[in-house]
Structure 1
Amino acid sequence: MIQEFLNYNLISITDDNIVEKLKKASDDLAIEFRHNSSKVRSFALVALDPDALIDNIEVTEAKEIILKNWSTFLNNSKDTPLTLVRAVILEALEIISKEGLFVSLIWLTIRNIHRYYNLKGKEKDLISNFLQRLGEEVERQGVKKWALLSMASREKLTVTKPEAINIKTDLTTLQKKLEDASGPNNSESKMNYESPNPYWPNQPQSWTYEFAPRAAKGIAEAIDKVLKELQTKVLNGIQTNIYDSVNDLITKIYEDVVERNRFLQIRTELIWWKEACYSVSLNQSYKNQQRGVLQVAIAFDYASFIPEIYPTSVDYFLKETYKNITADEDKNLKLSEIFKMIEQCRNQLKTIFIEPDALLGRISLLDFIVGLVWEKFTTKQFQKFVGISDNSEITLVEFTIWLFHDLQTLKILAGNTRES
């Protein structure tokens, strides 16, 4: 991403050494993300925001990492510190997006909010390209995960060709056998084995009768020894290779069938959920629920069904389910209006959300909603903590999907925490 900022002339650095220092800072920040994945969300939200405050917690931490690699960063930079900081953060995000579930975590964090940021011109194009790469990769993984098992996708048996084995004839033993077949003793006047040929070649008739069986036996023993080694090293190796390959194939097919059955079960549960219109979190029907409660409950319940990786069609299913449940007009509302609905339903929503700990730095829409429910925040603080105006407009179904995406990021973070 740093190179793309340079290519788009969004930062003006001509010294390759400085570029390498910025990339090293991104590498260091990526390491921090791997150790503390909960930071990915807040840093991603700041990285896309051209209006982020320079004293923001995430910006300050990124600046400190840059300063460790480029001590004169603040004094010698021709660009605004924020632009360089965001470039470094985006580079770090791109690095980790190629690892595990980070690509989904980043994508779900920023896919809804980015359209409300003040992105313009080349910077908007750069960010759009970044988002497109993330979205395409998440979609690829989601489609692969959710696809039904087909003949085309089934595993095929692969047997690795064994390595060439160098087996040599035992020339020493064969020579001794032929020496015994040729006469009573060898050049050292010794016999090698019992019962050598009692005749020399100067007695051709008798020598011939004695030579042939002894020579044939010696040659046959040498050949048998080579064949036995071949059987042991090559044939047994092939047999083991085939066994291992078949065993691996059966294991993969079993795991694939189990995984596909799990997703078939999810599909069945989703259809039942859509038709029943029943909220597990509220222990009530979705019908006739107040606006504010309804959107939160639908997003919360839906997230309980859906695994971390999923295709775009899952969002569309949620959208159609929402429309099936409520007759709300698909019109834009200000976020401040939706927040008022939330505030009026605080007591009911407290049964869904547990009281949060204090949050610092940039937070998600979901984080703010939970804080609003528990009176940790006021509507006036929305722009300070989330980075966009509460005058921003959105439909209620879009609001529901946004909450669902934020809930999915929490699920990913919970999984990363367990793994670490």
Structure 2
Amino acid sequence: MTDNVLLRFLTRGLIDVGGDDAKLDRLGATAADLARVLESAPAKAIPFALIAFDPQAPAGDPVVKEVLEILQQKWTTYVNTFSGTPVGVVRALLLDALAQAAKNDDRIGAAFVASARNTLPLMEAGHEQEIWDELVREIEARIDARAEAEWATPASIVLPALDFEFSAPEPGQPKRKPVDREALKAGIRAASGPQYQNAQGAQATNGNPQWPANNQAWVTEFGERLAKSIADAVDVSVGSLVLPEIDLSEPLQTLAGDVAGHVDQALNAVSAATAGLQRRANLLWWKEARYSPSAQASYRELSPRSAATLMAFDMQGHVPVYSPASVPAFLFEAVIGLPTIEAKRSYGIFELVDDAQKDDRLSSLREKLAKTFARPAGRTPVLSLIAYPDLLASKKPEDFRRLTGVPAETELTLPQWSTWVFRELQGAAATTLKAEAKAAPREAPAA
């Protein structure tokens, strides 16, 4: 579907190029350029989508002018083909660009789906309805699959074995002192008889006083002297044995580093595996406590409209951008669960915005929105009007429709309004995420 948006508009008669394939190629090249604009500036995804949704988009909107400038670079004489400002063509180009960019960047897909789920049901889609429905379902399915995977809690965690190679140091050769052979010889001679000659030929004394004639006494004395002489010589030699030192500090430091890394890997795996469970536990705690961390008060103490608005703001702070479709449904039920809420009572969206602009309890929300959205000049999310209460255009129903694409008479229940606020916050947060690794860049089509 995402590869043939323009063609589908063409076959339904929603745009007309007079059967000229070259003109269709120029439109395709323009859509590709717009997709690259989105990929370099994801924040444009929301105003691009809000114009693309709206068959009554104003011809003077900055987004329309930007698209026509890029179209003119590819097709100088486009004005001769279309009567007046071709807003329908602009919308088709924007939709094609959004579809292309969303394939390469989930941030754009998340922002597109969040905006579509809020605003698209209010538009008069007509013959475009099937195109929109299919495209939104396709992108939403991909984003939701990613979110479900990130929120899943696996049944088990498999960690790789600790991979450690121990480099044993080279064993050194022990150093020893050789036996003093001359001393051993002198000792053996002394054990043999009372007199003997030493190595220099001199007569030595302190020999064995016994002679073999007294066999038993000689043998005893000889054995004791000989054993002592040999033992002393061996003791001196072995006692001088020197073993070289072995330095184990480097392999032990390497082992300690590998073990620490393995433990960190295990802790990160456990944390990642249980992140979804922790989020769900936090949401359940928040829902049951019914306490607003931003207002420092129970939701019961707030007016129903303030409570519904703040619940969306507070819950959005508990969850990541990529959240399953069940998360807005959880918020819907949480709002219904407040005893002060009349679940089926409807309020005008114009009235809800006006109330949010004035309520002191929503000051933290307005501060966040002012940091998120620029001061509105063209098509913009509803929440950006809350961020700028002094904006005179937000006080007039006709300007409200021009700026947001939403009819000022639109009515929502408070659970619906809360999910609306949540989706717009999520869409804005998606476009400010850090860019992820992307696939190889798309080749520019021939003009």
Compute the TM-score of the two structures, normalised by the length of structure 1: 0.71
Matched, 1:369 2:386: yes
Contact 1:22 1:88 in 2 (8 A): yes
Match of 1:329 in 2: 343
Please give the secondary structure, in 2, of the residue aligned with 1:372. Answer: coil
> How far did residue 341 of structure 1 move?
3.1
In the aligned structure 2, how far is the partner of 1:253 from the partner of 1:130? 40
Contact 1:50 1:118 in 2 (8 A): yes
1:377–1:333 distance in 2 versus 1, CA, 3 Å = closer
Q: Deviations over 1:249-278 (max 9, x none)?
A: 999987554322222211111111111111
> How far did residue 7 of structure 1 move?
2.5
In the aligned structure 2, how far is the partner of 1:90 from the partner of 1:252? 42
Higher relative contact order (CA closer than 8 Å, sequence separation 6+): 2
Contact 1:291 1:341 in 2 (8 A): no
Q: Which runs of 5+ in 2 are unaligned?
A: 162-261, 439-447
> How far did residue 337 of structure 1 move?
3.2
Match of 1:111 in 2: 117
Please give the secondary structure, in 2, of the residue aligned with 1:87. Answer: helix
1:419–1:366 distance in 2 versus 1, CA, 3 Å = farther
Matched, 1:62 2:67: yes
Contact 2:290 2:300 in 1 (8 A): yes
Please give the secondary structure, in 1, of the residue aligned with 2:90. Answer: helix
Compare CA radii of gyration and give the structure with the larger one.
2
Q: Which one-letter code corresponds to 1:370 in the other structure?
A: A
> How far did residue 417 of structure 1 move?
7.3
In the aligned structure 1, how far is the partner of 2:403 from the partner of 2:137? 26
> How far did residue 70 of structure 1 move?
0.8
Task: Please say which of residues 311-320 and 44-53 is displaced more in the overlay.
Answer: 311-320
Matched, 1:141 2:146: yes
Matched, 1:94 2:99: yes
> How far did residue 309 of structure 1 move?
0.7
1:344–1:78 distance in 2 versus 1, CA, 3 Å = closer
Match of 1:393 in 2: 411
In the aligned structure 2, how far is the partner of 1:124 from the partner of 1:88? 16
In the aligned structure 1, how far is the partner of 2:77 from the partner of 2:263? 59
Match of 1:261 in 2: 274
Match of 2:287 in 1: 274
Match of 2:421 in 1: 403
Compute the TM-score of the two structures, normalised by the length of structure 2: 0.67
Q: Which one-letter code corresponds to 2:384 in the other structure?
A: D
In the aligned structure 1, how far is the partner of 2:390 from the partner of 2:300? 22
1:375–1:8 distance in 2 versus 1, CA, 3 Å = closer
Q: Deviations over 1:286-345 (max 9, x none)?
A: 113113321221111000011011111111211121122243232322223323433552
In the aligned structure 2, how far is the partner of 1:124 from the partner of 1:259? 40
1:298–1:359 distance in 2 versus 1, CA, 3 Å = same
Contact 1:26 1:88 in 2 (8 A): yes
- The alignment-based identity, stated in percent, is 25
1:349–1:376 distance in 2 versus 1, CA, 3 Å = farther
Q: Which one-letter code corresponds to 1:127 in the other structure?
A: W
Q: Deviations over 1:215-241 (max 9, x none)?
A: xxxxxxxxxxxxxxxxxxxxxxxxxxx
- Alignment map for 1:154-193 (pairs within 5 Å): none
In the aligned structure 1, how far is the partner of 2:95 from the partner of 2:266? 39
- Alignment map for 1:303-382 (pairs within 5 Å): 303-325=316-338, 326-345=340-359, 347-354=360-367, 356=370, 357-372=374-389, 377-380=394-397, 381-382=399-400
Q: Which one-letter code corresponds to 2:284 in the other structure?
A: I
Match of 2:27 in 1: 22
Contact 2:26 2:75 in 1 (8 A): yes
Match of 1:176 in 2: none
In the aligned structure 2, how far is the partner of 1:70 from the partner of 1:124? 28
Matched, 1:10 2:28: no
Please give the secondary structure, in 2, of the residue aligned with 1:350. Answer: helix
In the aligned structure 2, how far is the partner of 1:112 from the partner of 1:73? 33
Q: Which runs of 5+ in 1 are unaligned?
A: 158-248
In the aligned structure 1, how far is the partner of 2:263 from the partner of 2:378? 49
In the aligned structure 2, how far is the partner of 1:273 from the partner of 1:375? 36
1:104–1:343 distance in 2 versus 1, CA, 3 Å = closer
In the aligned structure 2, how far is the partner of 1:154 from the partner of 1:47? 46
> How far did residue 419 of structure 1 move?
9.7
Q: Which one-letter code corresponds to 1:338 in the other structure?
A: L
In the aligned structure 2, how far is the partner of 1:125 from the partner of 1:312? 21
Task: Please say which of residues 54-63 and 71-80 is displaced more in the overlay.
Answer: 71-80
Please give the secondary structure, in 2, of the residue aligned with 1:402. Answer: helix
Please give the secondary structure, in 2, of the residue aligned with 1:97. Answer: helix
Q: Deviations over 1:199-226 (max 9, x none)?
A: xxxxxxxxxxxxxxxxxxxxxxxxxxxx
Please give the secondary structure, in 1, of the residue aligned with 2:337. Answer: helix
Q: Which one-letter code corresponds to 2:108 in the other structure?
A: F
Q: Deviations over 1:134-171 (max 9, x none)?
A: 222222222222122136x97999xxxxxxxxxxxxxx
Match of 2:402 in 1: 384
Match of 1:232 in 2: none
Contact 1:12 1:78 in 2 (8 A): no
1:155–1:67 distance in 2 versus 1, CA, 3 Å = farther
1:124–1:365 distance in 2 versus 1, CA, 3 Å = same
> How far did residue 40 of structure 1 move?
1.0
